[in-house]
Structure 1
């Protein structure tokens, strides 16, 4: 970079040598103009770099905010899905337990409960009386989960038709709500 004191010294040397005049002044002015244009260019370059750096920082900040917003939205959707998945897993777990594990065989059955049907058969063909109705499924679907009182008789046993079945029928107050059998 050109030092301005050197230019001043050069100008004085032109005047002192007697070579001055208009030519020296023209050279001096052109040199000063070149130096000033160089300085302006350097200043403009530094301004552009500063502006570019600020723009880069602004773009990076906007990208970070956008990324944070996407991450937050993704996390919220994942949390909602996890909550829903937990509910779905609980429903399937309940259905699995009712259908396949021992508690189903010892007291729960899924079936239609109507005015003319108050007893039934469990998974092992054991005769069962309705003890209590749990309306876990809406009655409009006609599928209700009912608690059963399971007897030792089976559908295949010889003592099935012993006349005791008529004692197990329930008296219903209405078709939509079974009463408790004793």
Structure 2
């Protein structure tokens, strides 16, 4: 089959050369776009993991501070010369901390776009519960929720780094929640189902 053009006369080899150059250029451009997209996705995952690690540091800090507050108030209650009015005043002046910065990190476009749907949903459930439970009368359940949130963030980081898959994340989280439930059962923590 001969290609004949009235206004340009090209030989078969010139046409073949032109078509091959065009195809090679197209493949090169598509490859460059693919590599660029791949690098951008890799960078986003790395940034997501960094932000998740920062979120976990915030939750751990909140957890440690809450534990120290609880210990301090418990010690005050055991003291003979401190009355309940003084304890209530100290509790009012030192409210249970809430991890406000965690909300900002989770709302970040990079994090919210890359988090697994499961973790995203669970984190918001925990944040809602933490906001409701930030009181001394429910401090044990609050502490348990913070520890569960720590575990969830650690597992999501592993998921983002492709160390575990989504099913493993869910199983490990369920296992960790059960262990924490046993740990806090002795502290009269009310069991709530999510």
> Fold match, TM over 0.5?
no
Q: Which has the larger radius of gyration?
A: 1
Structure with higher RCO (Cα < 8 A, 6+ apart): 2
More helix by share: 2
TM-score normalised by L of structure 2? 0.35
TM-score normalised by L of structure 1? 0.37
More strand by share: 1
